[in-house]
């Protein structure tokens, strides 16, 4: 089967988007065709998350049904209820007696000051967007200005959703999906080159490589906005059969991908959150070494996904220019 270079190259993963141009925001739902082992690592100083406590290795529930990433800051956490409603209609969920409770975790980014109309009345629209995104979940989906990254920005360019995939030497598929709304920059200073350039595959974000020299100004930390206005929210996934503790380790290592692709990352102004999911289709032969490689490849893949999200984004009124607008590709 041909690789899509998307997280859906991992067997058992589906992704759906819903967004609203007037709102300048949206939702992305990652559905597991069968309940998956999921963990999370939160490093940003201003996160907005849903039900992440149950992902800790010592919690009772072993597997969940979906992860929802959204715009809307704390309002966007309502998107999880929409995805949950979709899954409940299909009989999914943790069984307690004759009741099933779909388990949906999530995270949101701040896009409330991006020029969209946020005067939605009493209730925010994210629950309906979450339901709509879940109905559209499939193997193919657009990158850039779509779903959770519809209204996302970086300090100097339009942000967006990105995805990528890879295969380890042991044959495990690894995928990443990210909504890039970073406090920092995905590109080196004001130029067209991406911080993630050393990890690029087949010219997937322009094939420009790394600049010969890094301008000193590019290393001066410059932050967008105020605390709570930014974040990169992501999920990495693999077809490996992992425990919750192993998935937690994968999430921790994969966070390096944000640091490789965004400067600065994990700041007090961000809510950087990375989920790690394991669909369990392939067993590990050598857990210690294979987890190490899974983590390293996941971090590289996440870095690539960040750059793809910015590279593929289209501009919106009230947002910074897109990479293509500024650099002419």
Region class of 51: left (phi > 0), else alpha (psi between -120 and 50), else beta = left
- Residue 226 — pLDDT band, cuts 50, 70, 90? low
Domains of the chain: 7-321 (3.60.70.12)
Give the rounded percent of residues in the chain with a pLDDT score beyond 90: 84
Whether 85 shows a pLDDT value over 60: the answer reads yes
132, 198 contact by CB (below 8 A): no
The reported pLDDT for the residue numbered 141 is 98
124-133, 261-270, 308-317: segment of lowest average pLDDT: 261-270
Residue 123: is it exposed, middle or buried by C-beta count within 10 angstroms (0-12/13-18/19+)? exposed
Pair 172, 282: CB distance under 8 Å: yes
DSSP per-residue string spanning 247-297: HHHHHHHHTHHHHHHSBS-S-TT---EEEEEEEEEE--SSHHHHHHHHHHH
What is the DSSP code (8-state) at residue 57?
T
- Chain centre to alpha carbon of residue 176: 7
List the one residue out of 276, 203, 97 whose CA is nearest residue 194.
203
Q: How far is the C-alpha of 168 from the C-alpha of 10, rounded, in Å?
A: 12
How far from the centroid of its chain's Cα atoms is residue 87's Cα?
21
Kindly state the average pLDDT of the residues 290-305: 97
Residue 317: which of 59, 116, 150 has the closest Cα?
116
pLDDT band at 169; cut points 50, 70, 90: very high
* Position 303 confidence tier, pLDDT thresholds 50, 70, 90: very high
Query: What pLDDT is stored for residue 228 in this prediction?
Result: 55
Per-residue pLDDT reduced to its tens digit, 171-202 = 999 999 999 999 889 999 989 999 999 999 99
**Mapping DSSP to helix (H, G, I), strand (E, B) and coil, where does residue 36 land?**
strand
pLDDT-derived band at 329, boundaries 50, 70, 90: low
Q: What is the DSSP letter of 172?
A: -
Residue that wins the pLDDT comparison between 80 and 264: 80
For the chain, how long is the longest CA-to-CA vector? Answer: 63
Name the residue with higher pLDDT: 165 or 319.
165
Q: Give the span between the Cα atoms of 316 and 65, in whole angstroms.
A: 33
Confidence class of residue 90 from pLDDT cuts 50, 70 and 90?
very high
Q: How far apart are CA 249 and CA 244, in angstroms?
A: 9
């Amino acid at each position: 089967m041909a690789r899509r270079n998307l997280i859906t190259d991992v067997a058992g993963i589906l992704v759906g988007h819903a967004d609203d141009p007037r709102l300048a925001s949206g939702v992305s739902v990652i559905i597991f065709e069968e309940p998956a082992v999921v963990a999370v690592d939160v490093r940003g100083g201003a996160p907005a998350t849903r039900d992440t406590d149950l992902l800790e290795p010592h919690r009772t529930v072993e597997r969940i049904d979906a992860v929802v990433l959204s715009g809307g800051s704390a309002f966007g956490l309502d998107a999880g209820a929409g995805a949950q409603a979709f899954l409940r209609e299909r009989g999914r969920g943790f069984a307690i007696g004759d009741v099933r409770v779909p388990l949906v975790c999530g995270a949101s980014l701040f896009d409330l000051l991006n020029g969209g109309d946020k005067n939605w009345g009493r209730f925010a629209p994210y629950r309906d967007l979450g339901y709509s995104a879940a109905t559209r979940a499939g193997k193919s989906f657009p990158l850039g200005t779509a779903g959770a990254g519809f209204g996302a920005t970086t300090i100097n360019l339009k942000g967006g959703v990105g995805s990528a995939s890879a295969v380890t030497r042991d044959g495990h598929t690894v995928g990443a999906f990210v909504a890039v709304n970073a406090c920092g920059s995905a590109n080196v200073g004001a130029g067209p080159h991406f911080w993630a350039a050393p990890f690029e595959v087949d010219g997937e974000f322009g094939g420009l490589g790394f600049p010969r020299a890094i301008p000193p100004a590019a290393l001066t930390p410059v932050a967008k906005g105020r605390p709570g206005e930014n974040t990169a929210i992501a999920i990495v996934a693999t077809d490996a059969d992992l425990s919750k503790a192993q998935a937690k380790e994968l999430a921790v290592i994969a966070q390096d991908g944000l640091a490789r692709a965004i400067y600065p990352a994990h700041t007090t102004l961000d809510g950087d959150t990375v989920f790690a999911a394991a669909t369990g289709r392939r067993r590990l032969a050598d857990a210690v070494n294979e987890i190490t490689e899974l983590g390293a490849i996941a971090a590289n893949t996440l870095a690539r996904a960040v750059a793809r999200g910015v590279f593929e984004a289209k501009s919106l009124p009230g947002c910074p220019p897109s990479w293509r607008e500024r650099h002419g590709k």
